[in-house]
Amino acid sequence: MSLFFGLIMFICLVPSTLILFFLIYPKNWKEKKLIFGVKNRDEFREGTSENEVDAIVKKRRSQAGIIVICTCVIAGLLLLMRGMPMQTTVWTAFIFIALILLEIPYILGNREMKALKKSLGLGRETGVSYVDLSSAGAVHALQPFRVWLPALLGLVPVVLALLIDLKILFPGMVPGAGSFLVTTTLGVFWLVSIMMAVFAHIFDNMKNEVISHDSSINANYNRAKKKNFADMFVLGAWGNLLLLAAWLLTFILAYSDLTIIISSAVYILFIFAGIASFVIKSKKIDSRYEKEMDLLADDDDHWILGLLYYNPKDRRLNVEKRAGVGGTVNVGHPAGKVILGLSILALVGVIMSLVWIGMIESTPMTIKIENGSVICHQISDDYVIALDDIRSISYGEDTDELNLIRTHGIGTATIQKGSFTVNGETGCKVFLRIGSGNYIKIVTDSDTYYINASTAEETADVYKQIDQALRL
């Protein structure tokens, strides 16, 4: 299981770094619209300025190339690591660090290009933007049904999963039915399809970029860009539909973590293929119109480090990125400030979650009999089971004989805690360290518990204590 998780992380990280590298560190800078987030100008291609820009690009591209190579090598070595909790923490931290490091040469290059621009006296028109009244708001490329059809069809697997969980379809035939885990998961990914459709409309309605005095050139350029965005979102929406269908079939035929991981890996590859296609087409579009770009707005100073767009006077919430693909928010817009704040909170939440998982993994799981109750403790008392409420108790030799499907709680390769469906029985309370092997099953008037301690010896000893207490 840990190997498949590592492969998914590897598949996510390596293509991402390679795509980002080729996007923001172009080799032939003279043919590009942007150089490290600064608009390319004719003055950059003249006299000593050309040599300066060439030196900046080569230096920063070389640094980024070293970072990419190191990232790929370290990612390959991380495939040798075992243990899901440690993998989760290390991979997540490494992905954050790798992507941040990859942008450092870009940030330094952005500062150098802005300094060169200022030394050439090219900052006098900072903030000037242009609007082509002939094509403003009139250029669109999205056919709504292409993105909304797969989004709406995605509701079918969600409804079918719900009917299975309600035991209206295939009653008694699907393990895990009634846990609503798959229904919830499919519902979340169906919402992703809806978000894709919404974002497709947002990008299709982005403010048209003015690159030329010729309105027809502006219209064709923006139409080509918007069609490229539309195709990417449509491909993602259909890929999402296929994932929903695959997960539904997995739920019905052979639900397991392995099948979920494999289907997720295929989905990630599909998405990256779509992004790669988008990047290639974007480069072709810019190359096609490069010679016709004789009118470019100068808003470089509104881009902080070439990454964040801050312009309180701009009413747009969404603008096209200067580093990477897609769009980013205008953090000078009131809603943009809210989105930025929520993004920071989400990042902090991820970090805190990793710390919490690390604490859980490193804290022993203990079971003790105290004050007439069986207490399952790890960091805090997870379960307190009164001895008087226990109807039966049994001893299991191996946790592998339990088919665990998590409804809510914690589920890692070694720790399983919370509400689970166990061997087809829904609503069971689980407190298990999988590596310790044996377990105790306790049945009360209201709940069924599957518990064990950090070691097999401790679990066996607690079972004897509970059995003796019940005999008194």
Q: Which whole number is the average pLDDT over 363-378?
A: 91
Position 392 scores a pLDDT of 93
pLDDT, tens only, 268-317? 778 878 877 887 888 788 778 777 766 656 678 888 888 888 888 877 77
pLDDT band, very low/low/confident/very high, at 153 (cuts 50, 70, 90): very high
pLDDT at 206: 76
**Using 50, 70 and 90 to split pLDDT, how confident is the model at 457?**
very high
Over 70: is that where the pLDDT of 179 sits? no
pLDDT in tens, 110-146: 999 999 988 888 765 555 555 555 655 568 888 999 9
Give the tens place of pLDDT for each residue, 372-415: 999 999 988 899 999 999 999 999 998 888 888 777 888 776 78
- With 80 as the cut, is the pLDDT of residue 192 above it? yes
> What is the reported pLDDT for 329?
82
pTM, entire model: 0.66
Read off the pLDDT of residues 31-62 as tens digits, 9 standing for 90 and up. 787 889 888 888 888 888 899 999 999 999 99
Mean pLDDT of the chain, nearest integer: 83
Tell which wins on pLDDT, 265 or 344. 344
CA 216 remoteness from chain centre: 39
Among 78-87, 201-210, 213-222, 422-431, name the one with the lowest average pLDDT.
Answer: 78-87
Position 294 scores a pLDDT of: 61
Burial of 237 from C-beta contacts in 10 A (0-12 / 13-18 / 19+): buried
What integer pLDDT is reported at residue 296 of this predicted model?
59
- pLDDT tens digits, 83-94: 656 677 788 788
pLDDT confidence bin for 150, thresholds 50/70/90: very high
Question: How do beta strands 415-422 and 425-433 pair?
Answer: antiparallel
Q: Quick check: 410 and 417 in contact, CB under 8 A?
A: yes
Average pLDDT over residues 163-181: 76
Rounded Cα distance between 308 and 230, Å, is 24
**Whether the Cβ atoms of residue 20 and residue 324 lie closer than 8 Å to each other:** yes
pLDDT at 174: 74
Distances (CA, A) of 75 to 203, 265, 361: 33, 16, 23
Domains, the chain, in order of start with CATH, read 130-296 (no CATH), 366-471 (2.30.29)
- In the structure, what pLDDT confidence band is assigned to residue 107 with cuts at 50, 70 and 90? very high
